[in-house]
Structure 1
Amino acid sequence: MSTTLPAPKPRRRRPAGEVVLGVDTHRDAHVASVLSLTGAVLATDEFPATAAGYRALLKWARRSGAVRRAGVEGTGSCGASLTRYLLAQGVDVFDVNWMDRADRRRRGKSDPLDAQNAARAVLSGRACARAKSGDGPVQIARMYKLTKASAVKARTQTINPLKAVIVTADPALREELAGLGNAELFRTCARFTDASSHEGAGEESVLQATRITLGLLASRIGQLSEEIREVDARLARLVECHAPQLLDVVGVGPDTAVALLITVGDNPERLDSEASFAALCGVSPVERSSGRRQVRRLNRGGDRQANAALHRIVFTRLRVDPRTQDYYERRIKEGKTRREIVRCLKRYAAREVFHLVKQLQPGPRS
């Protein structure tokens, strides 16, 4: 007599624990690795750097457990798009620096190893800097700032050959242009192109070629100057719209405000304290003490653009702000050097700016 056994009950799937994702980013493809909280490598794979690839990467990682944290190399370059996608999916993304050279010599270097090291950096707490979201008004400012820097560099590279041509030009032409300021010099040279277009065709002289060259270079300088003015106007409107309180600070103009906003990013909540912002700007004090000599020096790390912005604030205040001038005189009488006073003033400026940028409301995210 045959008896039928009851069908086995389906096993309930245990909810997977938390895992940590590490990604080594490249231009065309990203290599990802998933680690358990104990550091065991659960899976490693490669995905294309496309929108579909980002979705497939996160779906693949979640098969091993709940993904709440991720370490990504190059969050400001090749990994910027992936970082924005992971943040939109509720994953905390941490910026991971390159692997230590000594460690690389011992263990070798490969994309899977880099991905695993990115995850281990998050597990150990070595990677504690949260990635910028890069999807709001600050990202717009970053794009305009990049455009302006490129135009300023191109204009300088055009002004230099124009002045070199004048040095070797005919004496009569040199005397005609001598003593002119830059603005008047460029306008005068730009008119050479219009004058040469009305001259009859024939064999060109060196003088005529020189005038045409000066005219073309001056026209290019004018176009680049107009482009710079347009970008400056856009940056000023952006700051007035999203961070007008920064413009009320003594020594802060649109350029300085933009540099500081770019350093903070679109998610200022990632900065835990004013000390973290000071370290990010490279104005946190660094001990340089030995024996009985107890001193501190300027920090040579951090974001140098933000450091330069705070430097401009301090030196503007030293010229026009009575409170800063009184502070400078008092510290000089205490025996402090100019470098030490500037370091202190930059730290104070960083504190003031930090409390203002923490008030920023998140703008429209794309």
Structure 2
Amino acid sequence: MVAEVRRLDRRITTADTDIATTVEHTGTTLTQLYGIGTGLAGTILARVGSVHRFRSAAAFASYTGTAPIEVSSGDVKRHRLSRAGDRQLNHALHMMALSQIRHNTEGRAYYRRKRAGGKSHKEAMRCLKRRLSDTVYRQLLHDADLTLAAGPAGHSGAALSSSAAD
């Protein structure tokens, strides 16, 4: 059993290294966002695919399951967490939110403002996750725009035709 655990540990280490290498080769800037390491960036990139398939940040939030659902009754206006959407992406955003709450970040300040405004922990987390979803969406769009602006072989400003003399 110990040998099996060691073998599985080596496989995990190899997979982590492969993910880190792949994320680095994509040129993504997701890892610059607080709370996203190479593992979460790999999950996000793999689950999202092309960000251009989402027409807006709201559509992306719906896909990640961070768009709240209104469950109001009478004069009471409430929202609840959507159970729809990609649960792995939702989990990645949740981990990002927890990381931001634990450290002195803008996410923590936002969470505290929501709590001071009378929201429960779950409600404040839902708001923060939606905000982080929008941030991730903008970052993915930024990365995609940089990739599209690059020419052949990924070099910005490179031309398709040769400028060499006949």
Return the TM-score normalized by structure 1.
Answer: 0.38
- Matched to 1:332, the amino acid is R
Asked if the contact 1:259–1:306 (Cα under 8 Å) also holds between the matched residues in 2, the reply is yes
Tell me, yes or no, if structure 1 residue 277 matches structure 2 residue 60.
yes
Tell me, yes or no, if structure 1 residue 231 matches structure 2 residue 15.
yes
Tell me, yes or no, if structure 1 residue 260 matches structure 2 residue 49.
no
Question: 1:308 deviation in Å?
Answer: 0.3
Tell me, yes or no, if structure 1 residue 248 matches structure 2 residue 32.
yes
Asked if the contact 2:35–2:95 (Cα under 8 Å) also holds between the matched residues in 1, the reply is yes
Q: 1:356 aligns to what?
A: 139
Asked if the contact 1:246–1:356 (Cα under 8 Å) also holds between the matched residues in 2, the reply is yes
Alignment of 1:139-288 (within 5 A): 217-265=1-49, 267-288=50-71
Cα distance in 2 for partners of 1:264, 1:243 equals: 16
Gaps of 5+ in 1: 1-216
- Matched to 2:39, the amino acid is D
Q: Among residues 109, 121, 125, which one is paired with 1:326 in the alignment?
A: 109
Pair 241,321 (structure 1): closer, same or farther in 2 beyond 3 Å: farther
Question: 1:260 deviation in Å?
Answer: 1.1
Tell me, yes or no, if structure 1 residue 308 matches structure 2 residue 100.
no
Q: Percent identity?
A: 33
- Matched to 2:68, the amino acid is P
Asked if the contact 1:285–1:299 (Cα under 8 Å) also holds between the matched residues in 2, the reply is yes
- Matched to 1:225, the amino acid is D
Question: 1:321 deviation in Å?
Answer: 3.1
Gaps of 5+ in 2: 154-166
Cα distance in 2 for partners of 1:263, 1:328 equals: 26
Question: 1:256 deviation in Å?
Answer: 1.0
Return the TM-score normalized by structure 2.
Answer: 0.82
The structure where strand makes up a greater share of residues is 1
Q: Which has the higher contact order (CA 8 A, sep 6+)?
A: 2
C-alpha deviations, 1:66-107, integer Å up to 9, x for none? xxxxxxxxxxxxxxxxxxxxxxxxxxxxxxxxxxxxxxxxxx
Asked if the contact 1:289–1:295 (Cα under 8 Å) also holds between the matched residues in 2, the reply is yes
Please, what is the CA RMSD of the aligned residues? 1.6
| Structure ID, larger Rg | 1
C-alpha deviations, 1:201-233, integer Å up to 9, x for none? xxxxxxxxxxxxxxxx11111111111101100
How many aligned residue pairs are there? 146
